[in-house]
Chain A
Amino acid sequence: MPALFDLPTLWAFIIAFAVFAYVVMDGFDLGIGILFPFFAPGPERDSAMNSVAPVWDGNETWLVLGGGGLMAAFPLAYAIILPALYAPIIAMVLALIFRGVAFEFRWRDPGHRRYWDFAFTTGSVVAALAQGITLGALLQGIAVEGRSYAGGWWDWLTPFSLLVGISLVVGYALLGATWLVMKTEGAVQNHSFRLAGKLALGLIACIGLVSAATPFLSGAYYERWFAWPQVLFTAQVPLLVGLCSGTLLVSLVRRWEYWPFLLTLALFALCLLGLGVSMFPYVVPNAVTIHEAAAPNVSLQFMLVGASVLIPIILAYTGYSYWVFRGKTGHEGYH
């Protein structure tokens, strides 16, 4: 068991943190995009969008940190994973273009607003799907030869990767719905409660399916989850998932405003933990470990100095920005 002070391990945790921060924060932005068609054009859509307009850009920056951090800390992994997942990655960045500009463009061109709303939704759905497919394809394994990717350019497309893709779309949509429950009131909030209920059931089913399929992707995963005695530890993960799921459903039925979002976050955190159980210490499953992929210690040290000072500062001013825009977003028109 490597110590936490081991630089590659530490950086694996930092990047996992960046990915989690991204999934949580851009997750609800993308979720709102995914749910956009379910809201009526006009005040409903406007107030849904207003709830994230001041923060989406910062949220998306965590994705750049995840990608840039992977290149900096684990260049070999970055060099293998990105070509292997060429199509989904390109699809994701293109989708994020449409999603990102729609925030501004829809206000500048009321005549074509429905086209930019469509771009907003399609961009959000495709980005979420591509991110899920990326994760699924990584989990199911990547062909490696020497220091590069050795597979074809459609290897990523399997029923499993599609399942993970769809699961992430559902998961982001639930984050979006529960965010709106927290940030809006009146009709939008009622609507969000109804959507969140259905999505919660959908996400629980998805988590069940992905969890059931993962151990059978490779013998190593099965071992990691079911071998005695670590099953005593690993079994806590599905138990906690069950507990959170149950509480989430109760919170939605009882119309609590903050708990649904927080419990959805907890579900995402548990999924990440499960992912860690399946993968650690590999960064490309069964092929490249974080130690093999790690940049030289001089690179990791140099970045650690900055990261340990800057990431807390970033979290502080990000928190401040959320504080400035706290509370419920207005919903009636302004004339």
Chain B
Amino acid sequence: MGKYILKRFLMMLVTIFIIATLTFFLMHAVPGSPLESDRNTNETVQANLERFYKLDQPLHIQYLSYMQSIVTFDFGPSIKDPNRTVNELLARGFPISFELGMITILVAVVSGIILGTMAALRHNKMIDYAAMAFAVIGISIPNFVLATVLIQQLAVNWNLFPPATWTSPMHMVLPVLALATGPMAIIARLTRSSMLEVLTQDYIKMARAKGIKPMRIVLRHALRNALMPVVTIMGTLLAGILTGTFVIEKIFAIPGMGKYFVDSINNRDYPVIMGTTVFYSAFLIFMLFLVDIVYGILDPRIKLHKKEGDV
């Protein structure tokens, strides 16, 4: 186990290193200097700015100092707003995005599992059809469309929830709903199909024969095994939700990291793009690493060191 974790940890570092390098060279492949603007700056100012952002150095020196900045976690100042450092933006935006993401995943997992289990227990009955119809619709509607419809109907027409920002629990309802519906639908479908499979197995029949109460069979015996596929796709879902926050934060004007990321793309603010990309990727890759470890702990049948082996 310890050996496997160490190996996965090293793999994680390699992946982060690759994405950091990729980001650096991609950003430097952009034609023109990020300092070019409509204003006619004179040459001294230009030179000073280049020195300030270390753009006058040769590429490999820039690369080394960039790598150093990642290791020491100091991404330097923003180009569009030199009074702010990238670290400040991350410190301000990340807690909000993290909160949005975590509430979303919680809502998606809990309601998805309940929906999927109910559908499986009432197989081919009304609840099953209703839940699966809901799941297919949930997968089909992109989150940004859902977000706009929610704002238009629930916020503007019916005035039930505030349409934007992130200040009170009431403000959280619509963004979380818009972001959670898709993953919830995926989890519900997955839970249903694996639950249906588990329910036909011998040990469930055995438990029934022993006279254990149906509720207890579902919770203690079936659900535990049925949830393994859900754990497997958690990494992908997390990635989806995290990138989904870009759009949701833009639509709901939530001052999270996604908003800074999108702004930095529109402004071509390279230090911010690099900083947020590396930070986002590192966070995501770390979450994938955690999901892998949790999976290994939950299911002892999986031989951890042979995970990527033959099918």
Asked if A pairs with B, the answer is: no
| A interface residues with partner B (beta carbon < 8 Å) | none
| B interface residues with partner A (beta carbon < 8 Å) | none
